[in-house]
Structure 1
Amino acid sequence: MSTKRPANTFRNGPPQPRPKATLGSTKALPKTVSSRVKSSSRWGWVRQYMRDRPLVERIYRVTLKVVLWLFLSSIGAVIVLKYVPVWVTPLIVSRWVDTFGTDESSHVYKKWRSYDTISKEVALAVVASEDQDFPTHWGFDFDEIKDAMKENETRKLPRGASTISQQVAKNVFLWNGRSYIRKGLEVYFTALIELVWGKKRILEVYLNVAETGPMTFGVEAASQRYYGHSAESLSRNEAARMAAVLPNPRLFSISNPSNYVQRRTRQIAKQMRYLGGQKYIRNL
Structure 2
Amino acid sequence: MPSSAEQSASAVAELSGVSVRKYTTGQVILDGIDWTVRAGEHWALLGPNGAGKTSVLRLVGATMHPTTGTVDVLGHRLGRVDMRELRARIGFVSSAQKVPLDETAHTVVLTGATGTIQPLWRKYDDATRQRAHELLAELELKELADRPYGVCSGGQRARILIARALIADPGLLLLDEPFNALDLPSREDLIDAMHRLAETRPALATVTVTHHLEELAPNIGHVLLLRDGRVQASGAAAEILTGAQMTACFGRPIEVVHHEGRWSARSARGGIRS
What is the TM-score when the length of structure 1 is the normalising length? 0.23
Answer 1 or 2: which has greater helix percent: 1
Greater radius of gyration (CA): 1
What is the TM-score when the length of structure 2 is the normalising length? 0.24
